[in-house]
Structure 1
């Protein structure tokens, strides 16, 4: 069976090479050798990612015209053709990036399900599905970040890196991956386990919509185009879709009905936390061209008015948060507030408000100049 699978992959690779005019030789043996080399590159090899493998090959093998022209785009497109489209897989890096979110989810959301966070037996009963799902989301989010990365001009290490990676090809390939039903392999896994329902499907669609909005808005900033407050507010509300997916999955795993009051309260809390995180990460998000609500407000309202306009949205959300907090069970309300206080202290903030003090950083008026200055000081 394994040999048949390998033959199928080889046939798929050869067919793909021919259909995309990536055939370097007229002999079958030569083309089969290239196809096997491509398949070898796709196999996991310790901590080597695809770019590292290319660097090794570029360093130790002659740089043929075929290799220079096709090595990045060909392999990235082929990754989608073989078996990555149907099989849900996650890498170690995605799992590592998802770890802090999973920890926060367990400590902040398990209480709404009556699950004891201090019980390893209870945590690991649900953790495999939650961890696999969040890691898969982070893996796709990593692709989206690569699309948004800004190649820079000049003789800098970042510019050289983008030159090696053939930035345009990578961006187009990753965009195609994200636009063509990227969650389907994960949804298949959840459906086979009887965990999928319409509400969870809708949250995954929210994730796709968020990434599309992030690309749209960040590209608009890069190209000095106008953006709408409607798109910005839609994006910030969609941004926590992964928490809602995990929460809904936990209801499914426990065989419980969804508590809509809890979901509504947590959605407001998520909104405030996302704003708080954006303010904390503001400078990094400017450098990396990530979605950030303060960046967007500066573009829409101008540097002088942006902080005051954002403060108004925060005030309105806090009022709604306080009203919903009063509707929770007193014991749960108290427990959640203690958790918020723990989280803010762990983040280096100390204040009377459970979500911490609001500190809006100085706005960056000229993002291009800011990036240039930061790169030149590295």
Structure 2
């Protein structure tokens, strides 16, 4: 519900920007307007004793000194630790080679679900992966099960960093789900934080399919649309469990 309220705030600011002529005029589209709306919301947040005038002055001075290279350096510093954590987990390593044979895509030395089968299926990505093995897995073995799908999407030119991130979140969900189920089976205490995390991650397969639809239709991802769907998915998951 909190996320839904945040989306409502952004939408109100977007409407305000449009009425005051503050929307982006440089052709950045919805993504640019959304960035500006979130930036404005950030500026109006209380920060000690800083006034609105002082905040604008600080930002104006910073923008005169900063450059795109400065932002890239900050981005690198901010993401360096996260990248190290992800690499240490060895998740989703796309290291298999693909080849074309008689105009049909195959993946060497690994059983896969065909791309045509995915487009025809009515079930979710979880069905494709989990049904291959009903045993308990850790995150490493789960990532190995995802590898064929990762390779297939790469060979089709559909894999993106954002899509790969969602697949990693799916691995986290499957691992967390097994942890919670095992704890319940043993009458052990479970963490409410783990439960909430699992609920947020559970609909990763729908997010993967939505991202694939954007790729297949060659459309730019609408972040506002994805955020709305994320909140909607959370409410649906909670409703299903009631």
With normalisation by structure 1, the TM-score equals 0.32
TM-score, normalized by length of structure 2? 0.49
Higher helix share goes to which structure? Answer: 1
- The structure with the largest alpha-carbon Rg is 1
